[in-house]
């Protein structure tokens, strides 16, 4: 399962990083010119000013040409994923500052690696597409769904756990690229550490796979509650990314 998804991931990232899928199997680092290719994950209508990814081996970087002189020296002086170490990120951030940008947080991303089933007597309810719109604007669900309807990465499925009429937690997925569904989870504080998040994410992951789409999951490096949910639901770390955002 995992390696089948990993090969599909290489094709998705090749679209986004303006390279070939085979570039992720090379030993040397790769630098490309940023482009808006059809079929990418869409988090902004603009091209990447800078984005860097590793699947654990080499590094692939896509960036605007104004950064290429610096990057040509920087990414070839450091081997492989070591570019993600803080001492190697600091000079990169300094260079981005010269253009009014700064590094984002690192995004730690997961793919399914095994089938998982969980039994629970927790009542759940499913919502699809337009049915999800009723939850927009509810600050409790800032991870499970987008803040509003986004036509370029629409929320597709939501599953909620209930304690009577109270929502205990919500797992949702947005279609960030065609047939690539990113899962997010929110559990209300009074229901945390009770297995609610793991149960909902497992249900949603299985539903996405049954539909023939690919579920994926992302979290921050320090969010170990989220990491544990991913691991307990049958996900495995697959890739690591960092990008650039305009300084405020």
> What is the band of 76 on the pLDDT scale with cuts at 50, 70, 90?
confident
Quote the mean pLDDT of the chain. 96
- Which of the four pLDDT bands, split at 50, 70 and 90, describes residue 152? very high
Q: Decide if 124 contacts 203 (C-beta within 8 A).
A: yes
- How far apart, in whole angstroms, are the C-alpha atoms of residue 49 and residue 247? 13
Percentage, residues of the chain above pLDDT 90: 92
CA-based torsion, 227, 232, 233, 239: positive or negative: positive
Query: Tell me: the pLDDT tens digits for 184-222?
Result: 999 999 999 999 999 999 999 999 999 999 999 999 988
Q: What is the pLDDT of residue 89?
A: 96
- Average pLDDT estimate for 39-68: 96
φ and ψ of 165, to 5 deg = -95, -5
pTM of this structure = 0.94
Spans of all domains in the chain:
2-110, 117-232
Q: What mean pLDDT comes out for the span 131-146?
A: 97
Q: 7, 37 in Cβ contact below 8 A?
A: no
How many Cβ atoms are within 10 Å of 45's Cβ, its own excluded? 7
Spatial separation of the C-alpha atoms in residues 245 and 48, rounded to whole Å: 9
**CA geometry: angle at 86 spanning 59 and 73, to 5°?**
50
206 φ, ψ (degrees, to nearest 5)? -65, -40
CATH topology of domain 117-232: Aminopeptidase (3.40.630)
Asked whether the beta carbons of 179 and 218 are under 8 A apart, the reply is no
Residue 202 contacts residue 235 (beta carbons within 8 Å): no
Find the mean pLDDT for residues 42-61: 95
Report the 3 state secondary structure along the chain. Answer: CHHHHHHHHHHHHHHHCCCCHHHHHCCCCEEEECCCCCCCCCCCCCCCCEEEEECCCCEEEEECHHHHHHHHHHHHHCCHHHHHCHHHHHHHHHHHHCCCEEECCCEEEEEECCCCCCCCCCCEEEEEHHHHHHHCCCHHHCCCCCCCCCCCCCEEEEEEEEECCEEEEEEEEEEEECCEEEEEEEECHHHCCCCHHHHHHHHHHHHHHHHCCEEEEEECCCCHHHHHHHHHCCEEEEEEEEEEEECC
Please calculate the CA angle 181-196-182 and round it to the nearest 5 degrees.
Answer: 10
pLDDT tens track for 79-120: 788 899 999 999 999 999 999 999 999 999 999 999 998 888
Report, as an integer, the average pLDDT of 136-162. 97
């Amino acid at each position: 399962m995992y390696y089948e998804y990993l090969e599909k991931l290489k094709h998705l990232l090749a679209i986004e990083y303006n390279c070939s899928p085979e570039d992720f199997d090379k030993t040397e680092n790769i630098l490309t010119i940023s482009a808006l290719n059809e079929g990418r994950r869409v988090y902004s209508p603009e091209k990447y000013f800078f984005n860097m990814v590793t699947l654990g081996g080499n590094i692939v970087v896509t960036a605007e040409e104004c950064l290429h002189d610096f990057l040509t020296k920087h990414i070839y002086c450091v081997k492989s994923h070591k570019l993600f170490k803080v001492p190697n990120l600091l000079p990169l951030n300094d260079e981005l500052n010269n253009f009014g940008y700064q590094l984002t947080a690192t995004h730690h991303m997961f793919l399914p690696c095994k089938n998982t089933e969980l039994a629970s007597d927790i009542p759940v309810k499913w919502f699809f597409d337009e049915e999800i719109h009723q939850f927009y604007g509810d600050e409790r669900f800032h991870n499970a769904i987008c803040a509003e309807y986004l036509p370029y990465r629409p929320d597709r499925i939501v599953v909620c756990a209930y304690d009577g009429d109270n929502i205990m937690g919500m797992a949702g997925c947005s279609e960030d690229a065609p047939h690539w569904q990113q899962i997010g989870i929110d559990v209300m504080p009074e229901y945390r550490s009770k297995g609610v998040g793991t149960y909902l994410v497992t249900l949603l992951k299985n539903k996405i796979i049954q539909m023939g789409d690919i579920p994926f999951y992302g979290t921050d490096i320090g969010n170990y509650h989220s990491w544990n949910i991913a691991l307990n639901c049958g996900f495995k770390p697959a890739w690591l990314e960092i990008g650039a955002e305009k300084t405020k």
